[in-house]
Structure formats: C-alpha cells, structure tokens
Structure 1
Amino acid sequence: MPSAAVNGTDIYYELRGTGPSVLLIAGAGGDAGSFDRVAGLLADEFTVLTYDRRGNSRSPRPAGWQTTSVAEQADDAAALLTALGLAPAAVYGNSYGAVIALDLLVRHPAVVRCGVLNDPPLMSVVKNASEAEAPVRAVVEAGMAAGGPEAAVEHFMRFASGDVSWEQLDPGLRRRMLGNGETLFGVEMGKFEPYRPDDAALSGITAPARALVGQDSPDVFHEVATWLAARLGTEVLRTPGTHTPQLDHPEELVRTIRPFLAA
C-alpha cells in the first residue's frame, strides 16, 4: 500500500492517470475509495490523487491523537501534494473535504491551482444553525443508541446520502467507513462546522474557486453555497445528486467539474 509520511503520520494514497494533477478530498467517514468512480473517469485527462485522511481507514490513527482541526487537515493535504511533487493541483473537496479544500485555498495558495467546494458544512454562516444541525444530531444519537459508532456511521450515511447509495457501496469501502466511526464521532465531528474565514481571507484567495451544491442536498448546503459564492465572486455550480454526488451521480459530477479542473 503506498503511503507517505507527512506531519508526523502516515497517509495512505492512490494515484491514477496522467496529466495535470487533481486532488480529491473525502468528507466524513469517507476515504480514497469514495472517489473510485470519479477518479477513474478523470484519469483519462488528469493525474488523480486520492487519500485516506489521518486516522481514517488505511491511514493509521497517530498515537495520542485525540482531536483535529481544519488547519491540521489542510496541512496534511498540502504536505502530501508537496511530497508527491503534484503541487499545484486542482482540488475538489466534498463535505468536510470541501472545508479542508477551502483552507488550502486560504493558507496554502502555492499548492492549489483551482478549487471546487462541494457542500462544505460551514454552519458558522447559517442563519438557523442549531435548527439545521438538529436532524444530524438526532440521527447520530439514534445510531449510537442502536449499536455504537459503527451503527451511527450507517445511520448518518443513510441520512446524508440515501439508502440506495449506502446499500450500493463497494463492500470494502462500506466496512472501512463503518470502522471510521470512532474517528468521525470521537475526533472530527464538531471541528469543521465552526470554521469561517473572514471576508478579507476569502477575497484574498488567488486561485479560481467555485462553490458546488448537490441538487438534492438539504437546504442548508444551498444557503452555504450562496454565501460562499458571493464572497468568491462567482455563481453557484449545481450537480445532480445528494450530498455525496461522487457516490450516487459520479458521471454527472465529472461532467460538471471537468471543464473547471481543466481550465
């Protein structure tokens, strides 16, 4: 298994294709395998890098690692791109991965050629954040009561992506995602949602960036995308699918983002 030592931890990664580099960053519970279909489709034109974020799936949990931050996650991504000689790269991030991609644009401009930010859960910009977060809390609590972190992952993913997406996942990916429950709920959840770069930081982004929202994503993500696009000086991009279009509408997602990644 290929891995790179970055920032004191080993990060599992996968590379495919040739051409300009593209980094795909997974969200809550996901890993490199979440992008298998998207990466395969993009590999005809790009060198595609996917990876398991620290403490998830095939990237081991560092000793004593009890919490994380957006900055730590973005530093990992930047270090991985640099270590593999793939910077600057076009970056696509989904959910938590979109928050990480945004921080790359703000703090690591040298490693980013352009960025696509798909459904970042920036609850700090949502008008009724506590109301919007309540269904997620209820789903996670029900899962924990039903069977601990693994059951909570399944409840959460069925809520976020739909029953069909969950049931059609590759069995290996599904097993790894279930195993990421302790990291998701014990380390990550609650660390990404408060993130909010100020307007000066957003206006200082030099690489082209677009806010993307799934057409069937909850309203809160449409609100976030509108807020973000206004500060990036762009229009909102929309793609068919749920909060995780890489799982349920990969072909449509690739058609949506390919022209921007190539520009």
Structure 2
Amino acid sequence: MTETVTRTLESDGATLAYDVRAADAGVAGGVRPTPLFLIGSPMDASGFGTLASHFTDRTVLTYDPRGAGRSIRTDGASENLPQEHAEDLRRVIEAAGTGPVDVFASSGGAVNALALIARHPDLVRTLVAHEPPAAQVLPDREAVLEVCADIHATYLRAGTGPAMAKFIAAASRKGPFPADWQDEPAPEPAAFGLPTEDDGTRGDPLLGQNMRGCTSYRPEFEALRAAETRIVVAVGKESEGQFPARAAVGVAEQLGTELTLFPGDHGGFLGGEYGQHGEPEAFAQALRGVLEQA
C-alpha cells in the first residue's frame, strides 16, 4: 500500500487529524473505484489498519474524531454531539479533495455518518452503517438512555474502572433493558480486569465525551429517505440481541431497507487492534461486495 499521508485541518472547536492512503498504481482499465472513508467513534483511525489493508485498490481515508487520538478539542467542551462530528466529516472529505466517497462507519461513527448524510448527502455515494447505537429507535429507549446516562455519571463520579465495567455489561447484554435495571447489582471492575482505583482523569472519548450525545441522537429519517445516498444498515451475525444490533434493526426499519448481515460481532473488522480479533478478511469481502453493488 502507498505510504499513508497524515494531515490536519481546523474545524469549529477542534483540530482534526486525518490520513490518506492513496490507491495502488495500475488499476485495471484505468478507472479507480470511489474513495473509501472508514469512520469510527469514539474509535480513532488506529482501529482501521487491518480493514484498510484489504482495499489497496481504493484511496482510503481515516481520521480521529474530535477529542480522540490525535484530534484535539480547542473549545474546552467536555461532550460531543453527532451534529458536530458530521461537520467535521464534511470538512475532512472536502479537504481530502477526492470528491464523493463511499463510507464504512461503525458504532458511533455510523451515527455520525447518518447525521452527515442528513445534511450533506452529495458527499457520500454509499454508506454502510454498521451497528449504530441509536437508542431512540428502540422500544426500551428510555431504559437504554438511562443506562447510558448512568455510565457517564459513574465515570464522572468514580472513574474509568466502574464506568467501563457497566459499559461492558450493557454492551454485551442480550435483549431489552427492563425498567427496573437500576435494581441490578453493579458489575465489579476486577471481574473484567479493569482498574479499581480512580486515576482522576476524565477525558475518555467513550465514557466522558460521546456516551450521551451519540446514543440519544435520533437520525433525521425524512432527510435520509430523501437523500440520493445509498444507505446500507449492517449488523454482525454474532451481535444478535445486543443494544447496537437491535438499534441497527430499528434504523433499517425506519429507512424501509433490508438489514445486511456481516461476519463477526460489533468489532468484526478488527485484526488485532486493541487486542481484539474479528473476522477481517471475511468482513472485508462482505464490505467489498456491498460497495460493488452500487
């Protein structure tokens, strides 16, 4: 793969870092495929190394969302909203100068990509939205949003270990959250190998900055249905019943589209990043197949 070039740009309240991997030379027929933008949140570009390696025939863009990795917030704010991320995405696409892109967006990145398309559909040809945790489409949305708010409050009060233990338990839970979820005992950080001591930091992109804004965002379905962008909502075969997968089902229903199954679970594209191993080769093949249907 051509060497990755890293650039920065100024957005409202943040300095963003993004990467451009140019396509390999010698594309058959001289016609290059549409550039591919890989988006996560709060996961930054470092999570897409394996997946990007399967698309050397395309120019691949990655970036670090504001407040994560190399992208620094300059406005002093402690939380992010999908609308802010959407404008950051617009700026990255425009600054890259590649023209309209295809997008694979996972988790909170899928929520942010839906917000982008509602505002700037001309920038995206095809969006594959992989397990967007959009709680507002769920029948148990009030309980889910309370759980997310409690994780955030626990982080502010007690730090990473107790909050991350609650997050892991919530993310892996199968089925709806009951109204009396607060009566359940809180998971112990040590059970997940998490720290039990509070280190005093409060800048975590997941627990602090994006937990509430991402999950409480309701996609603008009227604008999305009217957009020329092809939107494919995807879910991992091993994610059935979990919150992001259930939300993906709800988003697809609201859009009036079929749900597309991908290999693995929520991190099915990972190839050792963060110590997690999904099914990256099969995942990349599935993604390529969806993109080539356009």
Q: Deviations over 1:42-81 (max 9, x none)?
A: 12x2111111111101112324223321111010011011
| Alignment-derived partner of residue 60 in structure 2 | 48
| Alignment-derived partner of residue 27 in structure 1 | 41
Structure 2 residue ranges without an equivalent (≥5): 24-31, 173-191, 194-200, 271-277
| Alignment-derived partner of residue 231 in structure 1 | 254
CA distance in 2, matches of 1:93, 1:112: 12
Write the letter of the residue equivalent to 2:139. Answer: K
More helix as a share of residues? 1
Q: Deviations over 1:130-175 (max 9, x none)?
A: 4446776777778788x723774587468758xxxx99xxxxxxxx
- Using the size of structure 2 for normalisation, the TM-score is 0.73
Alignment partner of 1:88 is 2:100: yes
**Helix, strand or coil for the counterpart of 2:92?**
helix
Identity fraction in percent? 31
Q: Deviations over 1:204-228 (max 9, x none)?
A: 1211111001112252334322322
Is the contact made by 2:148 and 2:215 (CA closer than 8 Å) also made in structure 1? no
Is the contact made by 2:156 and 2:202 (CA closer than 8 Å) also made in structure 1? no
Aligned length: 246
Q: Deviations over 1:95-142 (max 9, x none)?
A: 100001111221111211110111111101100124446776777778
Q: Deviations over 1:225-255 (max 9, x none)?
A: 2322233332110112121222212222211
Alignment partner of 1:5 is 2:17: no
RMSD: 3.0
| Alignment-derived partner of residue 188 in structure 1 | 210
State which of 106, 125, 130 in structure 1 corresponds to 2:118.
Answer: 106
| Alignment-derived partner of residue 201 in structure 1 | 223
Alignment partner of 1:124 is 2:147: no
Once the two structures are overlaid, the 10-residue window that deviates more, 105-114 or 127-136, is 127-136
Write the letter of the residue equivalent to 1:92. Answer: F
CA distance in 2, matches of 1:180, 1:254: 35
Write the letter of the residue equivalent to 1:37. Answer: T
Q: Which has the larger radius of gyration?
A: 2
User: Cα 1:86–1:155, aligned 2, differ >3 Å: closer, same or farther?
Assistant: farther
- Using the size of structure 1 for normalisation, the TM-score is 0.80
CA distance in 1, matches of 2:88, 2:123: 12
Write the letter of the residue equivalent to 1:245. Answer: G
Alignment partner of 1:213 is 2:235: yes
